[in-house]
Chains A and B, each alone.
Chain A
Amino acid sequence: HLQLQESGPGLVKPSETLSLTCTFSGGSISSTNFYWGWIRQPPGKGLEWIGNLYYSGTTYYNPSLKSRVTLSVDTSKNQFSLKLNSVTATDTAIYYCARRPTPGSGFDYWGQGTLVTVSS
């Protein structure tokens, strides 16, 4: 049974760095050629793609967030991570991690999402 689970602080202060981790269970994050992604959704609003990470470490970022985002993978822990720096209140959102089988396919497995609030 494949499962993705986000974890990290639910409250981040403005100008600081948001850090989240996604743990994949039911398989190995590096055993097959999947892409791993982060998507966010501000409360009551639509979905926004943040970036994708290939198991080898190759990254693809939303151009509007590229200057502030870093994705990384830790195959030994079966995890991949998101760091978003210099956050503001507009970064308040539910953050989802998800799996994408190929670059052109959809995200077929999603985590349950974690709400991150940016506030002092």
Chain B
Amino acid sequence: QSALTQPPSASGSPGQSVTISCTGTSSDVGAYNYVSWYQQHPGKAPKLIIYEVTQRPSGVPDRFSGSKSGNTASLTVSGLQAEDEADYYCSSFAGSNIVFGTGTKVTVL
């Protein structure tokens, strides 16, 4: 299984929106509505921010939203804040396996 493809970096000014893509195949992203997204700050464990494509765990701001079309999932962060600067990883269920994305570093300008 190959890693899902994400852009290495994305950026935006405070208050703006940034969207990160996550491209897989018909065997993972395209096959299941089981895409999740994680936020990771330096030196910290990843934190789940989206699961099952669009669902937010309790406590995650509604500035974070997810979507999917075909083999590509997307994470949108609206109203960027300084604390949103972090690495973001997508992940997909792929039958009995799980595959992660390559990661995107989001910079708040």
Residue ranges of B at the interface with A (Cβ–Cβ < 8 Å): 1, 3, 32-34, 36-38, 45-48, 50-52, 57, 89, 91, 93, 96-103
Which residues of chain A are near B45, meaning CB under 8 Å? 96, 110-113
Interface residues of A in 15-40 (CB under 8 A from B): 37, 39
B96–A46 CB distance below 8 A: no
Report the minimum CB–CB distance from A39 to chain B (whole Å): 8
B34–A47 CB distance below 8 A: no
Which residues of chain A are near B37, meaning CB under 8 Å? 106
Closest to B57 in A: A108
Q: In the complex, how many residue pairs between chain A and chain B have their CB atoms under 8 Å apart? A: 65
Q: Give Cα A46 to B57, complex, Å.
A: 23
**Top 3 nearest A-B pairs by Cβ distance?**
A106-B36, A104-B34, A106-B51
A104–B93 CB distance below 8 A: yes
Which residues of chain B are near A37, meaning CB under 8 Å? 98
Residue ranges of A at the interface with B (Cβ–Cβ < 8 Å): 37, 39, 46-49, 52, 60, 62-64, 96, 103-108, 110-113
Question: With A46-B3, A47-B46, A111-B45 given, is the CB distance from A106 to B91 under 8 Å?
Answer: yes
The main secondary structure of chain B at its interface with chain A is strand
Other A-B pairs beyond A96-B46, A105-B34, A106-B52, 19, CB < 8 Å: A46-B101, A46-B103, A48-B100, A49-B91, A49-B97, A49-B98, A49-B99, A63-B1, A64-B1, A96-B45, A104-B32, A104-B93, A106-B48, A106-B57, A108-B51, A110-B45, A110-B46, A110-B47, A111-B45
Report the minimum CB–CB distance from B99 to chain A (whole Å): 7
The main secondary structure of chain A at its interface with chain B is loop
Closest to A50 in B: B98
Which residues of chain A are near B50, meaning CB under 8 Å? 106
B97–A105 CB distance below 8 A: no
A62–B97 CB distance below 8 A: yes
Q: Report 21 cross-chain contacts, Cβ distance below 8 Å, ordered by A residue.
A: A39-B100, A46-B3, A47-B38, A47-B89, A47-B100, A48-B100, A49-B97, A96-B45, A103-B34, A104-B93, A105-B36, A106-B36, A106-B48, A106-B50, A106-B52, A106-B91, A107-B38, A108-B48, A110-B46, A110-B47, A112-B45
